[in-house]
Amino acid sequence: MDSHALDELDLQLLHALDVDGRAPFSRIAAVLGVSDQTIARRYRRLRAEVGVRVVGVRDAERLGQDRWMLRMRCTPDAADSIARALARRPDTAWIGLTSGGTEVVCMTVSRTRGEHDELLLGKLPRTPSIVEIRAHQLLHRFYGGPSGWLGKKQALTPEQADALRPVHAEPSAASGITPDDEPLVVALERDGRASFAELRKATGRSESAVRRRLDQLLRSEELFIDVQFDPEAFGYGTRALLWITAAPSAMDTVGCAIALHPEVAFAGATAGHCNLVAVIVCRDTASVYRYLNEDLGRLEGVQHVECTPVLRTVKQLTYEERR
């Protein structure tokens, strides 16, 4: 499905799902002024032809889990197989091939210290095809997670977005993901739009209990519903990672500033050879140059920027093997 086959309604639908991934098609249709059948048909087409997926995601920052960005320089024949092997691991959240296909960039989310040590200190250093590993611990998120890049495209008016925003019940003491919640969370990680009947079957709880607990988890913000898709289908075919060094006194100011830029899909503070990292999504290489020269390059406090184009995204938040 090429970008010419997609239109404003497709982008509005994705933005609507970004606001509330579990919103009924009837509510989305009413806000967008079309029929329920049109929205259902568009959604099925986007899933089948663009690979759109709506999934539940644990917010690692809210959960206090360690997150690392790993840059692995590999032998030319090994980068793809290493990326795919890492993508199958449950403790990886984003993987891309960069730098001529010889570098794998991987975001890890470790639920325990043992997981992190096993990967970073054990398995990866013993992989002979990995020539060099540079690890950057993520210290703070300026943009990303539940704040999706789709919202920056403003396909919906503010009034439409407000009409779709979910209304949760009053706060209660019960929040946070517990071991008892695992069947529910795992089911949502497979399909964020799973029906309450499907969630009842997956958890063994009553439908009313599932509704109540899901509302609590979403309100706690330790779980959110995300939309996965390929921006290239909408004409945004160029992505890059930016490794930014800012003056220590300007790190927070620069991080907050780039979080507002429409090109930025993720921005965070890191420990490592640089102190900020960002993922940008642009229409073409000329747009990348313009962003580096005009928007980022003119921010006071930016001292150095390394730009590594993303050749291919192997994993977003979840991974499906392509045969």
pLDDT at 219 over 80: yes
Number of residues assigned to the chain = 323
Angle, helix 196-203 to helix 182-190, in steps of 10 degrees: 140
Taking residues 62-67, report their average pLDDT.
87
In angstroms, the CA 52 to CA 44 distance is 9
pLDDT at 2 over 70: no
In angstroms, the CA 222 to CA 227 distance is 16
pLDDT at 246 over 70: yes
Task: pLDDT band for 123, please (50, 70, 90 cuts).
Answer: confident
Taking residues 71-98, report their average pLDDT.
91
In angstroms, the CA 250 to CA 236 distance is 30
- DSSP conformation class of 318: S
Instruction: Convert the pLDDT of each residue in 265-292 to its tens digit.
Output: 999 999 988 999 999 999 999 999 999 9
Alpha-helical (H) ranges within 88-152 are 113-117
pLDDT of 93: 87
Taking residues 103-111, report their average pLDDT.
88
- DSSP conformation class of 172: -
Q: Does domain 235-310 have CATH number 3.40.50.720?
A: no
Q: What percent of the chain has pLDDT over 70?
A: 91
In angstroms, the CA 133 to CA 120 distance is 9
Structure tokens given for 95: 């993987």
pTM of the predicted protein model: 0.88
pLDDT at 241 over 60: yes
Q: Match 């639908």 to its residue by tokens.
A: 13
Task: pLDDT band for 3, please (50, 70, 90 cuts).
Answer: very low
pLDDT of 28: 97
pLDDT of 99: 80
Task: pLDDT band for 44, please (50, 70, 90 cuts).
Answer: very high
Average pLDDT, the chain: 90
Among 87-91, 184-188, 200-204, 246-250, the minimum mean pLDDT is found in 87-91
Task: pLDDT band for 322, please (50, 70, 90 cuts).
Answer: very low
pLDDT at 237 over 50: yes
pLDDT of 318: 62
Task: pLDDT band for 175, please (50, 70, 90 cuts).
Answer: low
Q: How many CB atoms lie within 10 A of CB 7?
A: 10
Instruction: Convert the pLDDT of each residue in 140-171 to its tens digit.
Output: 999 998 888 888 988 999 999 999 998 765 55
In angstroms, the CA 239 to CA 287 distance is 10
Taking residues 239-268, report their average pLDDT.
97
Instruction: Convert the pLDDT of each residue in 185-204 to its tens digit.
Output: 999 999 999 999 999 999 99
Backbone angles phi, psi at 321, to 5 degrees: -65, 130
Backbone angles phi, psi at 140, to 5 degrees: -160, 140
